[in-house]
Copies of this chain bind each other. A is one copy, B any other.
Amino acid sequence: MNIVIPLFPRFTALDAIGPYEVLSRLPGAKVTFAAVEPGLIRDATGMLQVEAPVAIADVSSADLLCVPGGPGRRRADARLVDWIRAIHPTTTMTTSVCTGSLLLAAAGILVGLPATSHWFELESLADHGAIPTKARIVFAGKVATAAGVSAGIDLALALAARFSGDDVARAIQLAIEYDPEPPFDAGSVDKAPTAIVELARSTIARRIAAGAPL
């Protein structure tokens, strides 16, 4: 089973590694990190680099495509978007985490489909003809999108069940001891106090404004 996770400068680390930790444990999984220019890809904070050993130009198909998001998606190379468009017809499932859905949308994959994204960017999905849908995971045929960052773990467990059955997914959940106990209940805009939403909003805006890859 061929799983491909494309990386780009200023991707959000957990968007990619959360699903990776789950999907890499599927029986027969082969995960490939790919990028427009292979090599070390720096994340959104600039303090982490992950190796993408393969050029996307050398990847012509995927059973499961999982596209992460991050501030860098705003300046994503057009070749990445073109590649997503070309790979999509080959996949069993095309998926995204966080603002990765805006890359799927830019590739024209989400026209007329319900989709989710990070809450900060959800409405932007409509710019590309998608139907912004406030949910942690949205399945639409062979396309699945997840909400912000940590939602990729929930998505990946749901994908694990689709590809390998519920029992394998449950065993992976137990192997990663995913029995969450967040110390606060502020993980969605509906639950966090207004002041916290504003603090998060201004921090994210600063992060985006930081501009070119660090």
Contacts and interface: CB of A to CB of B under 8 A. Distances in A.
A20 interface: yes
B196 A182 contact: no
Classify the interface of chain A: helix, strand, loop or mixed.
mixed
A128 interface: no
Interface in A130-162: 136-137, 147-151, 153-154, 157-158, 161
Interface residues of A, number: 69
B170 A184 contact: yes
A153 to B, nearest CB: 7
A24 interface: yes
B183 A157 contact: yes
A150 B177 CA distance: 6
A35 interface: no
